[in-house]
């Protein structure tokens, strides 16, 4: 058989972070034009897995009780293996024979010197692997099937996120997304085949493609310091209980804000989108103060202030604590001076564009 190939893009959060981890709380995301590609070709004897991705990014570890510990949720190899496992279970349930293959991963999602931009490489490697294997075994790859198999793979790695990264890497473009009832899906893993789970409607799961107003311009600034989303989400979970009422308020306010933002996209109003971006920034700041988890670092605050000085609506993107910030402008603004100002504050403009698969 000839070689098959599938790619998945990186992602960035625009709004709704943290709240989106709870089912039914929407977020807005974009897919960006940096890709991770998986190639699969048949082998006669032994299979191999080769990845530029894993050789370039460092594997993080900590010391616990004197022992070297690797959080398996931070190890991209687990996502790849889980993606193969769940896709092959599905393929077998469809009555297909499994075979031996060589699998090669090529990633543009991390910088050449191994720094992480936080563009969602674990999601992209999962989505690209699921797509490539479905192609390899000659099965139809609908976006919904790819999303659901990728989610099952991430659930098995005990990922604590919302899976918005998987939605962006699968559906691409500008997207509104709400996560599904995770317990409902997990319960079915004990009683249903993979094929029947992916064919069910998952409660609260929502994806809607958004069309940005034509005058909207998105800039992405990178702070140069990598952050661990897994760790930040754990920290927020640990600290929310002490002030549960505050956290419930945060969830309600984030939901209302992102729903207004979705309406603003439907109306095509850049001004209203910008208003909600600024509101979402404040909502996240307050949650950060209540939980004591640092989301808007000093550099991210600077990134936002600089963008605001050029009439942009800016906020942290994703879990914060480093990685990237985003800023939305009117396309007619002249932004060269902003880029230099960012540079003097050690913020790098990432020359990324939103990617929508046609
Ligand atoms: O830091 P990122 O870009 O991986 O985004 C994380 C967003 C959270 O809402 C904090 C977690 C999640 O999985 O949705
Ligand atoms: Mg991040």
Q: How confident is the model at residue 115 (pLDDT cuts 50, 70, 90)?
A: low
Compute the distance from residue 206 Cα to the ligand 2 centre, in Å: 22
pTM: 0.94
Contact 230 CB / ligand 1 (< 6 Å) = no
Q: How confident is the model at residue 249 (pLDDT cuts 50, 70, 90)?
A: very high
Compute the distance from residue 343 Cα to the ligand 1 centre, in Å: 25
Which residue's alpha carbon is at the smallest distance from atom 13 of ligand 1? 161
Task: Report the residue count for the chain.
Answer: 358
Nearest atom, ligand 1, residue 163 CA: 13
Which residue's alpha carbon is at the smallest distance from atom 14 of ligand 1? 162
DSSP 354: B
Q: Is beta strand 101-107 parallel, antiparallel or unpaired with respect to 48-51? A: parallel
Predicted pLDDT of residue 116: 72
Q: How confident is the model at residue 112 (pLDDT cuts 50, 70, 90)?
A: low
Predicted pLDDT of residue 52: 76
Express each pLDDT in 284-336 by its tens digit: 999 999 999 999 999 999 999 999 999 999 999 999 999 999 999 999 999 99
Which residue's alpha carbon is at the smallest distance from atom 2 of ligand 1? 318
Contact 90 CB / ligand 1 (< 6 Å) = no
SS (H, E, C) 196-234: HHHHCCCCCCEEEEECCCCCEEEEEEECCCCCCHHHHHH
Contact 202 CB / ligand 1 (< 6 Å) = no
Express each pLDDT in 26-62 by its tens digit: 999 999 999 999 999 999 999 999 987 666 667 778 8
Contact 233 CB / ligand 1 (< 6 Å) = yes
Predicted pLDDT of residue 190: 94
User: Which of 150, 165, 230 has most ligand 1 atoms within 8 Å of its beta carbon, as the pocket-test mutant?
Assistant: 165
Nearest atom, ligand 1, residue 159 CA: 13
- pLDDT value at 123 more than 80: yes
Express each pLDDT in 146-189 by its tens digit: 999 999 999 999 888 999 999 999 999 999 999 999 999 999 99
Contact 288 CB / ligand 1 (< 6 Å) = no
Compute the distance from residue 233 Cα to the ligand 1 centre, in Å: 8
Express each pLDDT in 49-108 by its tens digit: 998 766 666 777 889 889 998 877 777 788 999 999 999 999 999 999 999 999 999 988
Contact 329 CB / ligand 1 (< 6 Å) = no
Contact 316 CB / ligand 1 (< 6 Å) = no
CB under 8 A, 24+ apart: contacts of 41-48: 41/1, 41/2, 41/3, 41/4, 41/101, 41/102, 42/1, 42/99, 42/100, 42/101, 42/102, 43/100, 43/101, 43/102, 44/100, 45/100, 46/100, 47/100, 47/101, 47/102, 47/103, 48/102, 48/103
Ligand at shortest distance from the CA of 226: 2
Q: Which of 21-30, 109-118, 331-340 has the lowest mean pLDDT?
A: 109-118
Structural domains of the chain, with CATH: 4-209 (3.30.230.10), 213-349 (3.30.70.890)
User: Which of 12, 251, 319, 324 has most ligand 1 atoms within 8 Å of its beta carbon, as the pocket-test mutant?
Assistant: 319
* Residues in CB range of 351: below 8 A, 6 or more apart: none
Compute the distance from residue 45 Cα to the ligand 1 centre, in Å: 40
Contact 319 CB / ligand 1 (< 6 Å) = yes
Ligand at shortest distance from the CA of 164: 1
Average pLDDT of the residues in 99-122: 83
Q: Residues within 5 Å of ion ligand 2 by Cβ?
A: 118, 227, 229, 318-319, 323
- pLDDT value at 114 more than 60: no
User: Which of 23, 117, 164, 232 has most ligand 1 atoms within 8 Å of its beta carbon, as the pocket-test mutant?
Assistant: 164
């Amino acid at each position: 058989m000839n070689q098959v190939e599938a790619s998945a893009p990186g992602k960035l959060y625009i709004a709704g972070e943290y709240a989106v981890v709870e089912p039914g709380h929407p977020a807005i995301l974009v897919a960006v034009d940096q890709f991770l590609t998986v190639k699969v070709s048949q082998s006669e004897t032994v299979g191999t897995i080769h990845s530029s991705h894993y050789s370039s990014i460092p594997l993080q570890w900590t010391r616990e009780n004197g022992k070297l510990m690797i959080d398996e949720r931070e190890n991209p190899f687990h996502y790849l293996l889980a993606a193969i496992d769940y896709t092959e279970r599905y393929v077998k349930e469809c009555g297909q024979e499994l075979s031996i293959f060589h699998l090669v991963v090529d990633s543009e999602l991390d910088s050449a010197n191994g720094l992480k931009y936080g563009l969602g490489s674990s999601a992209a490697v999962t989505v690209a692997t699921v797509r490539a294997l479905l192609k390899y075994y000659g099965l139809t790859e609908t976006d919904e099937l790819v999303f659901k198999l990728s989610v099952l793979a991430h659930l098995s790695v005990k990922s604590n996120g919302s899976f918005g990264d998987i939605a962006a890497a699968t559906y691409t473009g500008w997207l509104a997304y709400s996560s599904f009832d995770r317990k409902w899906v997990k319960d079915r893993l004990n009683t249903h085949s993979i094929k029947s789970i992916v064919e069910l409607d998952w409660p609260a799961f929502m994806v809607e493609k958004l069309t940005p107003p034509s005058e909207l311009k998105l800039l992405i600034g990178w702070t140069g310091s990598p952050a661990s989303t897994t760790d930040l989400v754990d920290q927020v979970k640990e600290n929310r209980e002490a002030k549960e009422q505050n956290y419930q308020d945060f969830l309600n306010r984030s939901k209302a804000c992102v729903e207004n933002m979705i309406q603003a996209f439907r109306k095509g109003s850049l001004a209203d989108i910008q208003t909600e971006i600024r509101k979402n920034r404040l909502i996240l700041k307050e949650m950060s103060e209540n939980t004591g988890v640092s989301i808007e670092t000093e550099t991210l605050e600077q990134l936002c202030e600089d963008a605001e000085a050029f009439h942009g609506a800016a906020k942290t993107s994703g879990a914060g604590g480093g990685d990237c910030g985003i800023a939305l402008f009117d396309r007619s603004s002249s932004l060269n001076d902003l880029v230099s100002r960012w540079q003097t504050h050690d913020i790098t403009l990432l020359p990324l564009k939103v990617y929508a698969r046609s």
